[in-house]
Chains A and B, each alone.
Chain A
Amino acid sequence: MSQKRLRDEFVSRWGFLAAAIGMAVGTGNIWRFPRMVALYGGGAFILVYILALFLWSAPLLMSEMAMGRTVRLGPVGSFRDFVGRRATWMGAWMVAVCMLITFYYAVVTGWCLKYTLLAFQGAFKIGVDTQSLWNRFLHSPWQNLFFQFLAILITAIILYKGIKGGVEKVTKVMVPALFLFLIIAALRAVTLHGARLGLEYIFIPDWSKLKDPATWLQALTQSAWSTGAGWGLMLTYSVYVKKREDIAQNCFIVGFGDQTAALLAAMAVIPTIFALLPSPEAAREVMAGSNTGLTFISLAGLFPRMPGGFLIAPIFFLAMVFAALTSLIAQVEVGIRTLMDFGLDRQKGTLLTAGACFLLGIPSAIIPDFLNNQDWVWGVALLVSGFFILLAIRRFGPDRVRREIINPSSEIKIGRWWTTVVFYISPLIFIVLTTWWFYVAITSNPKTWWKPFSVDTAGTIIIQWAILLIILILANNFLARKTVSLPEESKK
């Protein structure tokens, strides 16, 4: 049997697409996107969000896929072989940021598991104080640890079986089920008496909101985080695709699929909130609150007041579990792939990565503010990861990537616009977004912004990024040496 046939890879195009769509669709589609739409001008926000797909997310997804499919190594090896030895630390930054997010994302997945269980048990009844239910759970370390462990265990079992035997098989079921659940929840919500106002909040554009820079910046960041562009996830999954797998069309499918899931979630959430809360002001207040407040307090409290809510609650929370798990699987795979590139086999890589996710996620599981801090610090760092991908493509030559890697195997031929976007527009978006982020962080806390040990200051970002950067730059040569070099034949 040839080396080529021994490779663990996606058997079908649909298998890869299911895994990649599952990677992109996460909890952010369900609990953040509906809030952003309602707060930042409905249809006007959506139009900017669609624009962001073409100016940031899709070009980055294509870039990642081009790198992973060409080099056949995870982010660390891809940067070494695609850009040069001296850039290995950039790939390591991508892996580190992705894993630092994974440590607390497993805790978030655990929350979804807990609430699905509660929904199936019929725990959400009229009169139940969902606020205190959530507070009790959030401040119960043992429960958080148990559900975090459960989330990692499920993920590890799937990844232990590999891409073909685990990831592809599971996501081919979970992703269509996720869309089906969202459709059912959306149909129930839009047929509620009083749902029209909620639909107006989603779809009718409030053009005045386009004058507010926050609308543009929130739409761009929502797209960047939601599609998984710049995380290293698409790069890692692309290691397992066939050599002639389509890049352009697949990446647009992932982008459009991610947006479709977000719109379905908005149609499930916003009409429910507007139809079942006593006033539009109360609904707006919920939307202006937090992601967890919307999901685990407001919606959990509203489902029992909805006709058929006893069925919709488990369906909705199960959709959240599937969204979270299919993203967690992709994130943990980034760690496993990196260890496999260091010479470990999949089984050892899975055990080590899953173990690290559990142990290093413990602080987030037992201290809510620790989780909030990590979310604040590494969420923004993803934009830097995306920027590194842009630098890699710039170094290789954007037009060369387009003509020699993307277009020869893509059904949709990408025009010169892609080169312009990758070379000029996406880097500009990165500069504007990060500058804005730091500007807001500093101006909203003018006296305390520099504090390194606060939950959400600019200072805590700077210190944690600096520590990571110093470690990775010092380890650059070690990482470049440690990562295997593949013979040309095995890349085919």
Chain B
Amino acid sequence: MKLIIWIIIILGFNVGGFIFLILRAMRKKSY
């Protein structure tokens, strides 16, 4: 259980943050 929680915290922040920012950026592809 402890392992699952830490995987969610770390991957959630990092991979989740990466995907969130990419999707946000792709709304505005170029200037």
Contacts and interface: CB of A to CB of B under 8 A. Distances in A.
A243 B7 CA distance: 39
A260 B14 CA distance: 6
A244 B9 CA distance: 34
Contacts of B7: 199, 203
Contact of A203 (B10, B18, B24): B10
Given A204-B3, A242-B30, A245-B31, A13 B25 contact: yes
A50 B9 CA distance: 12
Interface string B1-31: 0110011011101110110011011101111
Contact of A43 (B10, B15, B25): B10
A411 B24 contact: yes
B14 to A, nearest CB: 5
Contact of B25 (A203, A204, A250): A250
Nearest to B22: A253
A490 interface: no
Given A11-B30, A256-B18, A246 B6 contact: no
B26 to A, nearest CB: 7
A200 B28 CA distance: 39
Given A43-B6, A203-B7, A205-B6, A256 B14 contact: yes
A263 B9 CA distance: 13
Nearest to A11: B30
A250 B29 CA distance: 11
A332 to B, nearest CB: 26
A234 interface: no
Interface residue tally on A, bucketed by range: 20 to 34
Which of B2, B6, B24 counts the most chain A CB atoms within 10 A?
B6
A204 B28 contact: no
B30 A263 contact: no
A418 interface: no
Contacts of B3: 196, 199-200, 203-204
Interface in A193-220: 196, 199-200, 203-205
Interface of A is mostly: helix
Nearest to B7: A203
Contacts of B15: 260, 263
A111 to B, nearest CB: 28
Nearest to A252: B21
A50 B24 contact: no
A259 interface: yes
A389 B28 CA distance: 29
Interface string A120-134: 000000000000000
A262 B13 CA distance: 14
Contacts of B26: 13-14
Name which of B14, B22, B31 has the most chain A CB atoms within 10 A of its CB.
B14
Given A203-B6, A245-B31, A253 B14 contact: no
Interface of A: 11-14, 17, 43, 46, 50, 196, 199-200, 203-205, 242-246, 249-250, 252-253, 256-257, 259-260, 263, 409, 411
13 contacts: A11-B30, A13-B26, A13-B29, A14-B29, A50-B13, A196-B3, A200-B3, A203-B3, A204-B3, A204-B6, A252-B21, A253-B21, A260-B15
Interface of B: 2-3, 6-7, 9-11, 13-15, 17-18, 21-22, 24-26, 28-31
3 nearest interchain CB pairs?
A256-B18, A203-B6, A244-B31
